[in-house]
Amino acid sequence: MLAGCLMAAMSACSDGEASGGYGTFSSGSEEAPTSAGPATSSDGDDPRSAAPSPEVAGTVATGLTSPWGLAFLPNGSALVSERDTAVIKQVRPGGDVRTVGEVPGVDTTSTSEGGLLGIALHPSFPDQPYLYAYLTSSEDNRVVRMSYDGDRLGAADVVIDGIPRGTYHNGGRIAFGPDGLLYATTGDATEAGSSTDPDSLGGKVLRTTPTGEAAPDNPDPGSPVYSSGHRNGQGIAWDDDGRLWQAEFGQDQWDELNLIEPGGDYGWPECEGSCEQTGVVDPQQQWPTDEASPSGIAFADGAVWMAALRGERLWSIPVSDGQVTGAPMPFLSGDYGRLRTVTAAPDGSLWVITSNTDGRGDPASGDDRILRLTLE
């Protein structure tokens, strides 16, 4: 367990203002305004690679409260985390929703973007019957694991702690990679310098064993840090060749889709979007912040699918051989409000979680909901 092995860079700002050059926080949150700049996401002339178009096949569930993370069970149902209630629910196709437990130790009151965030099942589930959750506690952000017997959650054990927490920029996505290791995206907690501080877990992609030890072949032996220079990543997914993609919130101008390289520095706080600076890995794609504010991503049928909060759309970005191969295409634009999570289902469909009850959206009747999309 990485219990306090690295210093946590905690934010000193709690009044909606952020120090260190952030200005008013409305320009540093998931609701960042757009600065002038080329619309590189949707105005390009590159031909789009052959990729499927999604069709809404139905609504899986309604009436969820601030849903955030999603993990599929072997039987085709899914577990869903609710950020503001600290509750895990099981959702069965057909709309049956039931609560399987409340995650202890979650601070749901003192942060705007923290709470119960991403979840992931152990890759050997149910032989290893563990559900992992990324959460905001009163002290930090951390990853815990709980036994799950198909009916109820067990006690929570800390796997990773000491991740900086703040009112904003808590990161929060977790997933197991093709290598069987646990990956977590962390935010800078509004302390931008933590992103490049090797002694902080903030503003990073972390990579550990399922029990929380640093992966033995990480860039810095003994450290869980896999990449750095991130502002607030909330999406990770692997393509068919095992390459890791990450989505990241920008501040004033550019949101990013990054291809993660071990030990890579992704530029924050020196760079937002592409900056062509020596030693910095530029994004594969960038968007004006009003078109994206990206949270969850998934890979399916040759494309990265990206859920956009402020942009209120689902982006399809064709990729091949570690490169974006055509112009990203938007779907569902404005149809369902803010989109938090997209996950590839075992049957080849996509499940998309809306995020309209999180205090920043305009909830419609039945929100929040999970949509099922088929790819044609």
Q: How far is CA 352 from CA 213, 340, 366, in A?
A: 32, 8, 15
Task: From first to last of the 376 residues of the chain, give the pLDDT tens digit.
Answer: 444 434 333 333 333 323 222 222 233 344 333 333 333 554 444 444 456 789 999 999 999 999 999 999 999 999 999 999 999 999 987 779 999 999 999 999 988 999 999 999 999 999 999 999 999 999 999 999 999 999 999 999 999 999 999 999 999 999 999 999 999 999 999 999 999 999 999 999 999 999 999 999 999 999 999 999 999 999 999 999 999 999 999 998 999 999 999 999 999 999 999 998 999 999 999 999 999 999 999 999 999 999 999 999 999 999 999 999 999 999 999 999 999 999 999 999 999 999 999 999 999 999 999 999 999 7
Do the beta carbons of residue 283 and residue 276 sit within 8 Å? no
In a domain, 317, yes or no: no
In a domain, 365, yes or no: no
CA atoms of 125 and 121, how far apart (whole Å): 7
Supply φ then ψ for residue 26, to 5 degrees: -60, -20
CA atoms of 243 and 252, how far apart (whole Å): 28
Structure confidence at residue 94 (pLDDT): 77
Q: How many domains does the chain have?
A: 1
Amino acid identity for residue 91 in this structure: V
Q: Taking Cα atoms as reference points, which of 208, 114, 117, 203 lies closest to residue 160?
A: 208
Q: Taking Cα atoms as reference points, which of 205, 210, 208, 199 lies closest to residue 187?
A: 205
In a domain, 5, yes or no: no
Kindly tell me the burial class for residue 45, based on how many C-beta atoms sit within 10 Å of its own C-beta (0-12, 13-18, 19 or more): exposed
In a domain, 361, yes or no: no
In a domain, 278, yes or no: yes
Structure confidence at residue 166 (pLDDT): 96
Phi-psi region of 143 (alpha: psi -120 to 50; beta: other; left: phi over 0): beta
Over the Cα atoms of the chain, what is R_g?
19
Do the beta carbons of residue 366 and residue 336 sit within 8 Å? no
Structure confidence at residue 40 (pLDDT): 54
Residue 75 is part of which domain span? 64-291
CA atoms of 260 and 244, how far apart (whole Å): 5
Measured in whole angstroms, how far is the alpha carbon of residue 324 from the centre of its chain? 20
* Beta pairing, strands 54-61 & 23-24: unpaired
Q: How many CA atoms lie within 13 A of 190 on its CB side?
A: 27
Residue-wise DSSP of 337-375:
S-EEEEEE-TTS-EEEEE--SSSSS-PPTT-S-EEEEEE
Residue 374 sits at the vertex; the CA angle it makes with 371 and 376, to the nearest 5 degrees, is 150
CA atoms of 144 and 100, how far apart (whole Å): 16
CA atoms of 119 and 342, how far apart (whole Å): 13
Q: How many CB atoms lie within 10 A of CB 97?
A: 16
Structure confidence at residue 154 (pLDDT): 97
In a domain, 299, yes or no: no
Q: Taking Cα atoms as reference points, which of 182, 201, 66, 205 lies closest to residue 131?
A: 182
Structure confidence at residue 42 (pLDDT): 46
Measured in whole angstroms, how far is the alpha carbon of residue 311 from the centre of its chain? 16
In a domain, 215, yes or no: yes
CA atoms of 293 and 276, how far apart (whole Å): 22
Give the domain CATH number at 134: 2.120.10.30
In a domain, 28, yes or no: no
